């Protein structure tokens, strides 16, 4: 009897739709009191989207934007760090769009957890594929949609996806605690140095 887990080998394009962020005609100008926020590169981190820092702006066009919703995945099309970020429940009732330099991935299959796909895209096999297929200039790396859509994904059953996501989140929490601990330690050392200088 074997305990082997069945893992499907499949591409990103078979798991989700991939579209680009909202196309603004010019600069993204802040508009106080506007009903829409736009997610830009500076608003994301490994911990997700910082909705408080997002700019409020007016969105105009002939069509209604495809508003971001929980479960969507943001992936930077440009930059030397290509980390996928999950739009989670913290978006609340915000009307939000992604800036045009993001790809927006929306999972279309019930046997794929968006958080799993985010985790996978940030792992070494997917990152290596993107690195090999990127269009690099001297300053910045560009990811084309076909390169992202062709990323190979190893897809285990849902219970296994949940286990790995749980482990990844626990490690993320541990990293955050260690970061805070290092900051506190540094503040203590700085205080000691100042006290010594003050005599």
pLDDT, tens only, 120-173: 999 999 999 988 888 766 567 788 899 999 999 999 999 999 999 998 888 888
Token pair 């702006």 is found at 57
Q: Cβ of 47: how many Cβ atoms within 10 Å?
A: 12
Residue 4: per-residue pLDDT: 60
What pLDDT, on a 0 to 100 scale, did the predictor assign at position 15? Answer: 95
The pLDDT value given to residue 2: 43
Give the pLDDT confidence score for residue 19 in this predicted structure. 92
Q: What is the pLDDT of residue 150?
A: 93
Residues lower than pLDDT 50 in the chain? 1-2
Residue 102 to residue 74: CA distance in whole angstroms: 6
pTM of the model: 0.81
């Amino acid at each position: 009897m074997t305990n082997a887990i069945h893992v499907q080998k499949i591409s990103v394009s078979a798991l989700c739709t991939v579209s680009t962020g909202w196309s603004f005609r010019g600069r993204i100008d802040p508009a106080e009191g506007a009903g829409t926020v736009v997610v830009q590169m500076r608003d994301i981190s490994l911990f997700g989207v910082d909705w408080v820092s997002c700019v409020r702006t007016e969105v105009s066009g002939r069509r209604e934007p495809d508003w971001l919703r929980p479960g969507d995945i943001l992936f930077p099309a440009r930059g030397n760090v290509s980390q996928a970020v999950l739009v989670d429940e913290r978006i609340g009732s915000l009307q939000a769009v992604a800036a045009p330099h993001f790809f927006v991935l929306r999972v279309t299959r019930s046997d794929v957890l968006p958080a799993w796909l985010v985790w996978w895209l940030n792992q070494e096999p997917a990152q290596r594929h993107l690195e090999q297929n990127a269009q690099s200039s001297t300053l910045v790396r560009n990811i084309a949609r076909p390169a992202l859509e062709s990323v190979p994904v190893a897809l285990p059953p849902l219970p296994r996806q949940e286990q790995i996501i749980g482990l990844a989140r626990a490690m993320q929490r541990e990293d955050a605690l260690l970061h805070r601990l290092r900051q506190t330690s540094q503040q203590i050392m700085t205080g000691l140095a100042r006290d010594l200088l003050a005599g």
